[in-house]
Structure 1
Amino acid sequence: MSRVQRGIVHDLHDEPHLDGRRITVRFIKTQVEDRGLDPETVSERYTLDVADVYRALTYYHDHPKEMDDVEQQRQSAIDSHDHLTTDPDDVRR
């Protein structure tokens, strides 16, 4: 199946993602490098051209400072909202 190749853009929450999709560069990196999925598997699961998976991985590694900043912003947002979440151990029946 032929799929449209996409570029990397920054118009979604200031995090680089595939143009026209909500799939972030960081998400693709996590799927391939942290979870150990093959780029072809990621391509099939998310209906992407395999070149887009490699493009996202290349972008991630070509922009280490930007990706570190993205991760720090994400962690900061998580930390600032942590008090709004409930730990399952805190819920009583």
Structure 2
Amino acid sequence: MASIVRTEDVLGGEPRIDGTRVGVLDVYELVIDGGYAPADVADQLGRSHAEIYTALAYYHDHPEEMRHLRRDREETTSTLADEALQPPEPAQ
């Protein structure tokens, strides 16, 4: 049976499918935000249908945690975009 785990040194501690680097939030974004069928995501990621549905169930069972992860990702993306647009400091 598929399970969801958190390991501090894998995916920054985000929940993921056990034995993989496939994050719960990544699965949700592919299925819900990306509009892909769970079967297609399972095939694309080389995972079982059960693992994909377990990740989706975890997402829905932990809404506050998922909101926090989304917020962290958005902040990181924004910070990286801001830093990428700034010219480097001149060498002295």
The TM tier, using the shorter chain, reads: 0.7 to 0.9
> Counterparts of 1:7-86 in structure 2 under 5 Å?
7-11=3-7, 12=10, 13-86=12-85
> TM-score normalised to the size of structure 1?
0.79
- Unaligned ranges ≥5, structure 2: 86-92
Coordinate RMSD, CA, aligned = 1.7
1:21 partner SS:
coil
CA shift, 1:6, in A, is 3.2
- Unaligned ranges ≥5, structure 1: 87-93
CA shift, 1:56, in A, is 0.4
Q: Percent identity?
A: 32
